[in-house]
Amino acid sequence: MERMSHIPDTVRALIDAIHNPIIAIDAQGTIAMCNSAAESMLGHTREQVYGKRLDSYLETSELHRILETGQGELVRRLSIGSKAYVSNRTPVRINGETIGAVAVLQDISELEAISSELEHTRLISEQLNAIIESSFDGIYVTDGQARTLKVNAAYERITGLRREDVLGRTMMDLVKEGFYDESVTIRVLETGKPQSILQTIKTGKTVMVTGTPFLDKEGKTMLVVTNVRDVTELNLLQKKLENMHKLQSEAKIELEQLKESRRGGVRLSLRSKSMQEILQLGLRLSHVDSTVLVEGESGVGKEVFADIIHNSGPRQGNPFIKISCGAIPDQLLESELFGYVSGAFTGARKQGKAGLFEVADGGTIFLDEIGEMPLGLQVKLLRVLQERTITRVGDTVPIKVDVRVIAATNRNLAGMAQVGQFRKDLYYRLNVVPVRIPPLRERKEDIIDLVYRFLDSCNKRYGFSKQIDREVLNVLMDYEWPGNVRELENVMEQMVVVTQGEVITMDDLPSQLKRAMEGTQVLPVEDKPLKTVLEEVERRSLELAYRKHKTTRAVAKILGINQSTVVRKMRQYGIRPIGIAQGDAL
C-alpha cells in the first residue's frame, strides 16, 4: 500500500478531518497510513510509525488477522490505555488480491460511562420498584397535574381497583367518574402541604390516605406520593368490639337476673326492650356516685332498680338503707334521717341516736316517696347533697358522711317544683340522672314472664305444683294493672293459695279482674293513636281465634293469613301457645 505521504493533499486533508482514528497496514503488517486522530490515539506522529508493525504500538491489535482471513470484522471492542474503542476492520483488495487492511475506530469511553450510569440508574429503578411493590401499604403516585403515574400491588389489593383502571388518568376525572368520593392528591396540589383524609372507594372500601408533595428546584410540586391504609378491617374490628360490648351487657343482664332470682327479687322482668335498657343504665350507674332520681308509678319496681344499682357496684358490701318518706310522721322523719343528741326533744334517748345517713356511711340510702318530704326538711337534705355532711337534731357539729343517694317518687316532682310544693334547688340536685320505669301496661310483653316467675315462686314457697289456664293468661294480659308489678305479684299469690284445684281457672280470678274483663268487651278507642287501636284489635282477634280454635294453622285459616304470620304476630303480642311449657317460646 502507498504511504500517506504519496496521497494527494486533498485526500490526506479529508482523511485527517475524520474524527475517528483510521489506521491501515500493508501486506507485511506494517503501518502504511494513519490520520491525525490515530496519531493522538497512538501517541506518535505518522512519520514515527510508518513502516513499523502495528502490534509494536498496539499489543491488543488483531488487524493482522484480516490479512490472514481476508474477511472483515465489524464492531470489535478493544481497550487502548484508559479508553475503550469499537473497531471496524476491513481488507483492502486490488484485482482480488488482499494488499492490506484498514481499521476505523470509535472512542466509546463516554458512551460506556453513560451506559454504566444508565445501568446503575436501571438497578436503582428496579430496587425502588421492588421496594414499592413489596410495601404492605398501598402507594399511589401522580405528577404535578394529578395524572396517575404508578400504583403498587398493595394498592390493588386494598382498594379492589386494577392499576390499568387508573394509570394515565387524572384524579379530577377519577373523582368525577365515582372511583373516589374525594382526592387527597388534589388537596395536596391546592395547599402544597401533606394532607390526610378518609377516602371511600367505589368498591365499598374505606381507606386512610396521606398525600405528600415532592418539589422541584423551583419549588413546584412535581410528584404527589400517597400512602394508603385499609381501615375497612379496623371498622369491622370496631363493629365486632361493639358487638362484644353488647354481648357483655346482655350477659351482665342475665347475670343480674340470676342474682335477683336468687335473692328472691323476682319483681323485675327484662323481656321488654325498655326494661333491658333500664337495667343496662342501672349497671352503668352502679360504677359512679351520681345522684339518681327514679320516677314511676307505684309498684313498677323502683326499689328493685335501686337495689340493682347498689349491689352491682363498689358499694355493694356496705349498708343499703331504705326509707319511705311518706310512711314516717313529719316530726319523726328528721330525727330518723339525721339522728339526734341527748336531750334534743322530749322522749329522746339519753345517749342520743345515729341517723340513717350515718348508718349508711360508705353505702347507699334509698329515699322512697321523696315527694312527701316536708319542705323544711328538704333544706337539710339539700345541704347533705351539697356538702356531704349532716347535723344531728339538737347539735351544731357537722358530721362528714360518704353516702350515695337514690331517690324515688310516683309524683310529678317537676310540676310540684313549679308550683312551690317541692324545692326547685333540691329537685335539680336530685335530678342529676333521671330514670323513668314504665308501668306494666306499657310493657305487656313482660306480663307472661312475670306471671310464671311469680307462679314458680309461690309453688316453691308453699309446696304446690299449680298451673294456670290459658284463658286466665289472656285476662292477665288484657288487664291494665294500675298497681303494676306489685299488684300482679299479689294477684298471683292470691290465686295460688285460694285455688282448690291444680289449675288456676277463670273462676279463680279476683273480683277486680272479673269486673275489668266484663268492661273491656268493646275496645275503647278514644284518645288513642290509630296505630295503637289497630294493634289492640289485631291482638284481640288473634287471642279470641286462638282461644277458640287451639292451633295456629286453624287461626290462619279462619283469619285468612299465613300460619307463619300468625306465629310471628303471636310472638309479637306475647300470646303463648296453649299447653306450652314454662320458658318455651313460639
List of residues 6+ apart from 479 with CB closer than 8 A: 513, 516, 517
pLDDT of residue 116: 76
Taking phi over 0 as left and psi of -120 to 50 as alpha, with beta for the rest, 562 belongs to: beta
User: Would you state the pLDDT for residue 263?
Assistant: 47
pLDDT for residue 494 is more than 90: yes
**Where exactly are the structural domains of the chain?**
4-107, 128-230, 244-438, 522-586
Q: How many whole angstroms separate alpha carbon 6 and alpha carbon 53?
A: 19
Grid cell digits, residue 63: 488487524
Round to whole Å and give the CA distance between 15 and 37.
9
What is residue 585's predicted lDDT score, i.e. its pLDDT? 35
Residues 6+ apart with CB under 8 A from 432: 290, 291, 292, 293
The cell numbers describing 79, all together, are: 481497550
Fold that domain 4-107 belongs to in CATH: Beta-Lactamase (3.30.450)
The conformation of residue 244, written as its DSSP 8-state character, comes to H
**CA distances in angstroms from 2 to 5, 18, 22, 100, 211, listed in the order given:** 8, 19, 15, 10, 73
Pick from 275, 285, 300, 381: which is nearest to 337 by CA? 381
3-state secondary structure of 66: helix
Query: Which percentage of the chain shows pLDDT scores above 70?
Result: 88
pLDDT of 533 > 80? The answer is no
Per-residue pLDDT reduced to its tens digit, 245-303: 666 665 655 565 555 544 444 445 667 888 888 888 988 999 999 999 999 999 898 99
Task: Determine how β-strand 320-324 pairs with β-strand 433-436.
Answer: unpaired
Please check the confidence at residue 316 and state whether its pLDDT lies above 70.
yes
Lowest mean pLDDT among 31-35, 184-188, 338-342: 338-342
Look up the pTM and report it. Answer: 0.48
CATH 3.30.360.10 for the 244-438 domain, yes or no: no
Q: Is the separation of the CB atoms in 260 and 304 below 8 Å?
A: yes
- Average pLDDT estimate for 38-51: 87
The grid coordinates of residue 567 equal 306465629
Contact 307, 320 (CB under 8 A): yes
pLDDT tier for residue 459 given thresholds of 50, 70 and 90: very high
- Classify each residue of 11-39 as buried b or exposed e, where b means 16 or more C-beta atoms within 10 Å of its C-beta: ebeebbeeebbbbbbbeebbbbbbbbbbb
The identity of residue 11, as a single letter, is V
| Residue 205: predicted pLDDT | 85
> Cell 446503575 identifies what position?
120
pLDDT at 578 over 90: no
Give mean pLDDT, residues 176-202.
Answer: 91
Superfamily of domain 128-230: PAS domain (3.30.450.20)
CA 100, CA 68: separation in Å to the nearest integer? 10
pLDDT (average), residues 384-404: 90
Average pLDDT for 529-555? 79
Instruction: Write out pLDDT tens, residues 198-219.
Output: 888 998 888 889 999 998 888 8
> Where are any strands of DSSP class E within 216-347?
221-230, 292-295, 320-324, 339-340
pLDDT of residue 528: 65
Beta strands in 443-531 (DSSP E): 467-468, 503-504
Report pLDDT for 1.
Answer: 55
Fold identical between 4-107 and 128-230?
Answer: yes
Which own/partner contact pairs does 15-20 have at CB distance under 8 Å and 24+ positions apart?
A: 20/104, 20/105, 20/106, 20/107
For 521, the 3-state DSSP assignment is coil
Residue 138 pLDDT > 80: yes
Q: Choose the weakest-confidence range: 53-62, 420-429, 457-466, 495-504.
A: 53-62
Q: Tell me, what's the pLDDT at 145? A: 92
Spatial separation of the C-alpha atoms in residues 582 and 448, rounded to whole Å: 10
pLDDT score for 261: 45
Strands (E), 108-191: 138-143, 148-151
Residue 524: pLDDT over 60: no
How many CB atoms sit inside 10 A of residue 105's CB?
21
Residue 214's beta-bridge partner residues?
A: 223
Reported CATH class of domain 522-586: mainly alpha
What is the sign of the dihedral through the CA atoms of 288, 291, 294 and 295? negative
Average pLDDT, the chain: 84
Nearest to 498 by CA among 44, 530, 490: 490
Q: What is the pLDDT of residues 409-441, one digit of tens each?
A: 999 999 999 999 999 999 999 999 999 999 998
Q: Residue 282's closest CA among 247, 317, 257?
A: 257
Query: What is the model's pLDDT at position 584?
Result: 34
Q: Which of 525, 561, 564 is nearest to 541 (CA)?
A: 561
Q: Which tens digit of pLDDT belongs to each residue from 50-106?
A: 888 888 888 778 888 888 888 888 888 888 877 888 889 999 988 888 889 999 998
Residue 71: per-residue pLDDT:
87
Q: Is the pLDDT of residue 492 over 90?
A: yes
Q: What is the pLDDT of residue 318?
A: 93
> At 22, is the secondary structure helix, strand, or coil?
strand
Q: Residues 1-28: what's their mean pLDDT?
A: 78
pLDDT at 400: 94
% the chain with pLDDT above 90? 36
Cα–Cα nearest to 473, from 569, 565, 577, 551: 577
